[in-house]
Amino acid sequence: MFDDTLKIVIRKFAGKMISLLPLVFAVITLTISALSLPVNGGSGTVTTNADADIPSSAQLTISPSSINFRNANPGAVLTIPANENPVSVTANAQIGEQSLATLTVLAIGDLISGSDGIPIENVTWTATGSGFVPGTMNKNSPVSAGSWQGPGEHIGTFSFFMGNSWSYSTGNYSQTVTYTLTAP
Amino acid sequence: MRFKIIILVLLALSLTFVGANSALAVDATANVTLSATVTSIAELTLSTATVSFPNANPGTVPNVSATENGATITAHVRTGSSTPASLSVLAADDLTSGSDVIPMTAVSSTTTNTSGTFFTTGAIPWSKTAPVTLGGGASGSYTGTVNWTLANSWSYATGNYTAAATYTLTAP
């Protein structure tokens, strides 16, 4: 008798729980949707409720992405400006009002042509635009290129320069540097 | 009860994921390629364009020093790491005075390195038949001091002798 009563209670409870499953799945689906908000690149519109939990996001654009330094006589040109100067930079950071978005740059290595190298520290840049800062390339640790408090779109320019020297061996040198915009 | 536990666990996991996502920083990156072209170039400077040997008694002055000794030579050069630059001198002819001749091999130069190591040290006789190498090396900026000497001889006929010589700095 007691067992029969217990079985009935369990069936009723199980029925209620099963009816809640759609709600559970809905919660999970919403959570996954929130996690998949775009972080890098692309364009699009994300519409959310005013009280939605929006995660941080960041978007960085540097154009053009190929910077070239021409050949020049070191006796006449001590510093070679890049052909593409000024280079456009756009940093979008969706962060909290008190959070600090940072932009850093790290070179993979020196400028390389076969076995010859030009120290990457010979490449410097100047900056325009609020929050963007000038600096010197480094292959060992990231160098600050800008920072901003709170969310926003930040537009500026970088102008790149390479110190010229008689000591360089002839060749076609290249190297990749990586800019990283961090939205905490 | 079992279903209630499952629901609570799922809700807890969902909230955990949301919380974790909110705490993590997100990065956006952009790669930029830097390229530079460096080609060969050479610049040579000698502080004097004339070298004069005064008259001297061969019995007491076997080697006559040029009046311009101590001249400065500067070589700026950019070349390939496997193709060193070279400095040479070639006389157009012997020293001549009318029909009289002093062989160019009687003239020699000595260069000392004062900045960098590029110039060959020691006395090097000149030639009118083939360039004489005076130094060489990698890309860089080099400075040296040059002294010229004329081997004196009783056999020289009197006269005012002249000849032209050309210094050439080559960056392959």
Residue A4 pLDDT class (50, 70, 90 cuts): low
B21: chain A residues, CB-CB within 8 Å: 34-35, 55
Alpha helices in chain A, H assignment, sequence order: 2-35
What's the gap in Å between the CA of B122 and the closest CA on chain A?
A: 26
Q: Is B20 a domain residue?
A: no
What is the reported pLDDT for B4? 52
Q: Is B26 a domain residue?
A: no
Closest CA to A162 of A128, A127, A126: A126
What's the gap in Å between the CA of B35 and the closest CA on chain A?
A: 4
Distance (Å, whole) CA B131 – CA B112: 19
A181: chain B residues, CB-CB within 8 Å: 27-30
A177: amino acid identity, one letter: V
Residue whose tokens read 């009002």: A97
For residue B98, give both structure tokens: 């009318």
CA B12 to chain centre: 72
What's the gap in Å between the CA of A134 and the closest CA on chain B?
A: 16
A60 with B30: Cβ contact below 8 A: yes
What is the reported pLDDT for B83? 97
3-state secondary structure of A22: helix
Say if residue A32's pLDDT is above 70: no
B26 with A58: Cβ contact below 8 A: yes
Q: What is the mean pLDDT of residues A172-182?
A: 98
For residue A9, give both structure tokens: 């209670």
Taking residue A135's Cβ as centre, other Cβ atoms within 10 Å add up to 18
A76: amino acid identity, one letter: A
Kindly provide the residue ranges of all beta strands, DSSP E only, lying in chain A, ordered along the sequence: 57-63, 66-69, 79-81, 87-94, 100-107, 111-113, 116-118, 123-128, 135-136, 143-149, 152-163, 171-183
State ipTM: 0.81
A115 with B81: Cβ contact below 8 A: yes
What is the reported pLDDT for A26? 38
B31 with A57: Cβ contact below 8 A: no
B97: amino acid identity, one letter: S
pLDDT digits (tens, 9 = 90+) for A127-143: 999 999 999 999 999 99
Q: What total of structural domains would you count in chain B?
A: 1
What is the reported pLDDT for A127? 98
Cβ burial, residue B99 (10 Å; 0-12/13-18/19+): exposed
Q: Is B97 a domain residue?
A: yes
Q: Is B10 a domain residue?
A: no
B74: chain A residues, CB-CB within 8 Å: none
Residue whose tokens read 């536990």: B5
Q: Is B36 a domain residue?
A: no
Across the beta sheet with B165-170, the strand order is B132-137, B85-91, B165-170
3-state secondary structure of B125: strand
Say if residue A69's pLDDT is above 90: yes
A72: amino acid identity, one letter: A
Which residues have a Cβ under 8 Å from the Cβ of A123 and sit 6 or more positions away?
A: A107, A111, A136, A137, A160, A161, A162, A163, B34
Per-residue tens of pLDDT for chain B, all 172 residues = 454 544 444 444 444 444 434 456 899 999 999 999 999 999 999 999 999 999 999 999 999 999 999 999 999 999 999 999 999 999 999 999 999 999 999 999 999 999 999 999 999 999 999 999 999 999 999 999 999 999 999 999 999 999 999 999 999 9
- The CA–CA distances, whole Å, from A82 to A26, A70, B122, B157 equal 54, 7, 45, 63
A56 secondary structure, DSSP code: P
Distance (Å, whole) CA A64 – CA B119: 45
What's the gap in Å between the CA of B147 and the closest CA on chain A?
A: 26
Task: Point out which residues pair with B118 in neighbouring strands.
Answer: none
pLDDT digits (tens, 9 = 90+) for B6-23: 444 444 444 444 443 445
B32: chain A residues, CB-CB within 8 Å: 62, 65-67, 87, 176-179
Q: Which residues constitute the domain of residue B136?
A: 41-48+55-168
For residue B123, give both structure tokens: 């006395």
For residue B158, give both structure tokens: 């009197």
Q: Is B98 a domain residue?
A: yes
Q: Is B3 a domain residue?
A: no
A66 with B32: Cβ contact below 8 A: yes
